[in-house]
Amino acid sequence: MSRSFEEKSVWIQLVCMLVSLGVYFVLAGRLLASGVREMPAFAALFMVSVVLMVCFMGVAYGLTALMSCVETRDERDQVIAMRSEYRSSWLVAVGVFGAVVCMTMGV
C-alpha cells in the first residue's frame, strides 16, 4: 500500500517528536534525580532537543521528497491533515498548560 506524502509527513512528525522529546524527558529526569533545580539547565537541554528534532525532520522530509513521486493532494490527504491536527492540538494544549502550572508552582 502506497502512502501519500501527507501521511508520511504526519508519521515523520510523530516519530521525530517522540524520539527527541522522549530523550529530553529522560535526560531532564536524570538532571532532577541528581539534584539540579536551575531552569537554565533544563532550558538549554530543551533548546538542543528542539533543534535536533527540526534537523531530523528536515532530513526525513528531504529523503521522503526525493523518494516520492509527484502527487496531487486528494480528499484523503485533507482528512489525514485534519485528523492529525485535531489529535495533536489537545496534546500541545495540555503540555503548555502543564508547563505554566509547573512554573507558577516553582517546579
Buried b (16+ CB within 10 A) or exposed e, 52-67: ebeebbeebbeeeeee
Residue 102 has pLDDT above 90, yes or no: no
| pLDDT at residue 107, as a whole number | 65
CB atoms within 10 A of CB 2: 8
Residue extents of the structural domains in the chain: 5-104
The pTM assigned to this predicted structure is 0.67
pLDDT tens readout for residues 16-69: 989 998 999 899 999 999 998 888 888 889 899 999 999 999 999 999 888 877
Predicted confidence band of residue 3 (pLDDT cuts 50, 70, 90): confident
Reported as a single tens digit per residue, the pLDDT across 66-94 is 887 776 777 887 887 788 888 778 877 88
Structure confidence at residue 98 (pLDDT): 81
* Whole-number pLDDT of residue 1: 54
